[in-house]
Structure 1
Amino acid sequence: MGKKSRDKGNRLERELVRLLCEAGLEAHRVPLSGAVSGYEQDVVLEIGGKEFRAEVKGRKEGTGFKLLERWLGEHGFLFVKRDRKPWLVVMSFERFLEILGRGVK
Structure 2
Amino acid sequence: MLGWFRNLLGPGVPSLSPQEAQAKLKSGAILLDVRTPYERKDGKIPGSKALPLAELAKGWESLPKDKEIICQCASGNRSRQAAAFLARKGYTAYNLLGGIEAWKRAGLPLKK
Higher percent of residues as helix: 2
TM-score normalised to structure 1 length: 0.27
Higher percent of residues as strand: 1
Q: Which has the larger radius of gyration?
A: 1
Comparing both chains, which one has the higher relative contact order based on Cα–Cα distances under 8 Å and sequence gaps of 6 or more? 2
